[in-house]
Amino acid sequence: MSDALAGSLAEFQARLLEPGDPWHPWTERVEEARRRFADLIGADADEVAIVSCASEGAYQVASGLAWSPGDAIVTTDLEFPSIAHVWLAQRARGATVRHAVSTGGFATLDGYDQAIDERTRLVSVPLVSFRHGQRLPVAEIAALAHRRGAQVIVDAYQGLGVEPVNVAELGCDYLIGGALKYLLGIPGIAFLYARAGASQDRDPQLTGWFGRADPFSFNPYELDYAKTARRFEVGTPPVPAAYGAVAGLRLISALDPRAVREHIAALTDHLHTELARRGETIASPAAPDARGPQVAIRDTDPERLASFLAARRIMTSPRGELLRLSVHYYNTEADMAAAITAIADYRRTAP
């Protein structure tokens, strides 16, 4: 938690106490969050919708497509389950869900190539896999999908803030990111990028007054959808989370994204190399250009290992048979050394 985030949340609390009607500063902060997220990904603010979480953003995209028997969604088993579940739920509406075949535990362009056909309507690609930190070849997959007539949605939650992203370079139609993780905010707010001109079969089925062309017309008889990405929005936005998002996005926007990427690549490479040298089984990609801001190791009891490390103020994330160590720009070589030493200590003492 940064000082900036703590100060922003305190400001939100002060707004509740001071003016009596804080609506105007609230909406200003929400709009700043929208603008800063758009700037981060190289988009226009009108191409960004405020949603409550990544799953809501994925649902808004899926609900706008009219699925016929034989229509397919192509995804990967490296997809974060909360997004994967939205795709699976579309089977009740007639969609077929296919998983691109992984090779050696990693997603490949060939796997997507085999799964995408002329009946594919939506292709889902994580920017970075939550499972072990693989950076997927998003731009290549997107180009392939477009050649076969499918739209592309990218879940950037696991890397946005430390991986440079430009939606035009990725070539995606939709992209989802949230304020928690690497954007240094809090849960409760996410962002859905919808490329200007990206077509949908029908208007979003989940809607509310902020999805209107004029939310303040207060007209209960007319459902006038906004012409911009705001059509995907629903009710009153998550204001406290927007304050947190802006605090994090301000910090991120002050950095050179290429310098961030280079710094993190150097740290993860050192972490990967040293852990492997000491006998750890690494689940993350060995090639630096295929690795995101994470190194994952295999363990028979990741929860126990995570607790051991947490007692030494090293915060990690156990998932299944893997323990994930995630790196941010503020991390240093000393942090990597501390983690490497602590894991070695655990191996000497664990039964």
Q: Would you say residue 230 has pLDDT above 90?
A: yes
Segment 126-144, tens digit of pLDDT:
999 999 999 999 999 999 9
Q: Which of 215, 233, 253 is the last residue of a domain?
A: 253
265 and 236, same structural domain? no
Q: Which of 229, 253, 277 is the last residue of a domain?
A: 253
For residues 256-261, average pLDDT: 96
220 and 262, same structural domain? no
Percent share of the chain, pLDDT over 90: 96
Q: Would you say residue 24 has pLDDT above 80?
A: yes
343 and 308, same structural domain? yes
281 and 217, same structural domain? no
277 and 243, same structural domain? no
Q: Which residue has the tokens 């007209």?
A: 219
293 and 240, same structural domain? no
134 and 95, same structural domain? yes
pLDDT of 139: 98
For residues 229-238, average pLDDT: 97
314 and 247, same structural domain? no
CA–CA dist 71, 55 (Å, integer) = 21
131 and 31, same structural domain? yes
When pLDDT is cut at 50, 70 and 90, the band that residue 148 belongs to is: very high
Q: Would you say residue 20 has pLDDT above 90?
A: no
Q: Would you say residue 348 has pLDDT above 80?
A: yes
For residues 212-239, average pLDDT: 95
- Number of structural domains (the chain) is 2
pLDDT of 21: 83
Burial environment of residue 200 by CB neighbours within 10 A (0 to 12, 13 to 18, 19 or more) = middle
Segment 31-85, tens digit of pLDDT:
999 999 999 999 999 999 999 999 999 999 999 999 999 999 999 999 999 999 9
Helix axes 333-349, 257-277, angle to 10 degrees: 30
Instruction: Decide: 314 and 342 in contact? Cβ < 8 Å.
Output: yes
Q: What is the CATH number of the domain that holds 284?
A: 3.90.1150.10
When pLDDT is cut at 50, 70 and 90, the band that residue 18 belongs to is: confident
Q: Which of 208, 223, 253 is the last residue of a domain?
A: 253
Structure tokens at 156: 């950037």
Domain of residue 195: give its range: 3-253
Segment 262-284, tens digit of pLDDT:
999 999 999 999 999 999 999 99
343 and 317, same structural domain? yes
328 and 261, same structural domain? yes
Q: Which residue has the tokens 């997507």?
A: 112
Segment 280-325, tens digit of pLDDT:
999 999 999 999 999 999 999 999 999 999 999 999 999 999 999 9
Q: Would you say residue 19 has pLDDT above 90?
A: no
First to last CA, the chain: 35
Q: Would you say residue 29 has pLDDT above 90?
A: yes
Q: Would you say residue 195 has pLDDT above 90?
A: yes
Structure tokens at 343: 């894991």
Nearest residue to 39 (alpha-carbon basis) of 167, 172, 154, 144 = 167
pLDDT of 317: 96
Q: What is this structure's pTM?
A: 0.96
CA–CA dist 76, 343 (Å, integer) = 31
Q: What is the mean pLDDT of the chain?
A: 96
Nearest residue to 114 (alpha-carbon basis) of 128, 101, 96, 131 = 101
Give CA separation, 296 vs 36, 197, 285, 318, 323, in Å: 31, 39, 9, 9, 5
pLDDT of 296: 98
Q: Would you say residue 179 has pLDDT above 90?
A: yes
Write a three-state SS string for the chain. Answer: CCHHHHHHHHHHHHHHHCCCCCHHHHHHHHHHHHHHHHHHHCCCHHHEEEECCHHHHHHHHHHCCCCCCCCEEEEECCCCHHHHHHHHHHHHHCCEEEEECCECCECCHHHHHHHCCCCEEEEEEECECCCCCEECCHHHHHHHHHHCCCEEEEECCCCECCECCCHHHHCCCEEEEECCHHHCCCCCCEEEEECCCCCCCCCCCCCCHHHECCHHHCCCCCCCECCCHHHHCCCCCCHHHHHHHHHHHHHHHCCCHHHHHHHHHHHHHHHHHHHHHCCCCECCCCCHHHECCEEEEECCCHHHHHHHHHCCCCCCEEECCEEEEECCCCCCHHHHHHHHHHHHHHHHHCC
337 and 227, same structural domain? no
Sort strands 190-194 and 48-51 into parallel, antiparallel or unpaired. Answer: antiparallel
